[in-house]
Amino acid sequence: MARYEQIAGDLRDAIVRGDYAIGAQLPSEAELALRYSAARGTVRQAVALLAAEGLVGSRQGARRIVLGSERSQSFAELHSFAQWARSMGYRASGTVLSSRRRPCSPSEAVRLSLEPGEEVLGVLRLRRLDGEPVLVERTVYAGWIAPAVERLDPECESVTQELYESVGLVFAYGEHLIDAVAAGSEDARLLEVRRGSPLLRQRRVTTTQEGRPVECSDDRYRAGSVTFSIRNSTAANPLVRRAGE
């Protein structure tokens, strides 16, 4: 682990532990550099990490201040339902309800960088949290990864982890669109809610380290089961609002 990650981890622990209250000042960069016997640049890398996590804020000329004390989770936990659930202490399960190959639609071709009509694998999965159905996933996998997906256990807990272990696939980048929709009849039946009731929808496209698209998905959460959380600042602006459809 890099020196700056160690320093960031040390400071993060102190913040989470409450050594620095919310609103309190962090030591100056000079003092931290002295304390950790590191160059100022290294200390700056460390605090930049904490700033990106939304834990601390900064202004030129003034000491850094603590903004929050909750640990944010990793990309993997955003991407993988199972990994997120496990980190939160829930027991996740899931079932593949259908899985079949078909030619891709024009919009899927664009999102997955495929040739029009190239074969894709469509999978419908129901996910449960502590036994309760909370999520319907409609995922479309690019043809080149389809065989590995079809080999998975239909009750497989973490698709992300299994694909890593079986073929070394790593999800590295994701784009996510979040909005609210009314439950369709299939959604309603699977999630055990009334038709037309509110669902939180997350549409995403995920790519490998090389920038090659792997899958796109339409995930629908039962209202009240999951909340997305984000911290931002004038310096960091990860979330964006979009109009209409």
For the stretch 145-168, what's the b/e string if a residue is b when 16 or more beta carbons lie within 10 angstroms of its beta carbon?
bbebbeebeeebbbbbebbeeeee
Cβ nearer to DNA, comparing 41 with 196: 41
CB 81 within 8 A of CB 157: no
CA distance 148 to 151: 5
Residues 81-120: x where in contact with its own copies by CB under 8 A, - otherwise, as a string: ---x---x-x----------------------x-------
The tokens for 241 are: 């609002």
Among 11, 20, 50, 58, binds DNA (CB under 7 A): 58
- Answer whether 22's CB lies under 8 Å from 66's CB: yes
The only residue of 37, 98, 229, 234 in contact with DNA, by rule CB under 7 A: 37
Q: Which stretch binds DNA (CB under 7 A): 15-23, 33-41, 108-116, 120-128?
A: 33-41
Q: Choose the contact partner of 29 out of its own copies, DNA, none; CB within 5 to 8 A by kind.
A: DNA
Binding part of the chain for DNA, among 55-63, 76-84, 141-149, 152-160 by CB under 7 A, reads 55-63
Position 223 contacts its own copies (CB under 8 A): yes
Please report whether residue 210 would count as binding its own copies according to CB under 8 A: yes
- What does 40 bind: DNA, its own copies, none (CB cut-off 5 to 8 Å by kind)? DNA
Q: Is 225 exposed, middle or buried (0-12, 13-18, 19+ CB in 10 A)?
A: middle
Q: Which of 35, 63, 91, 102 binds DNA (CB under 7 A)?
A: 63
Q: How far is the CB of 215 from its own copies (least distance, A)?
A: 15
* H, E, C per residue of 118-143: CEEEEEEEEEEECCEEEEEEEEEEEH
Tokens of 8: 């960031």
**Closest distance between its own copies and the C-beta of residue 220, in Å?**
9
Say if CB 214 and CB 208 are below 8 A apart: yes
Q: Which of 12, 15, 42, 50 binds DNA (CB under 7 A)?
A: 42
Residue 239 CA to residue 202 CA, distance in Å, equals: 14
Residues lying near DNA in the complex (CB under 7 A): 2-5, 26, 28-31, 37-42, 44-45, 58-64, 210
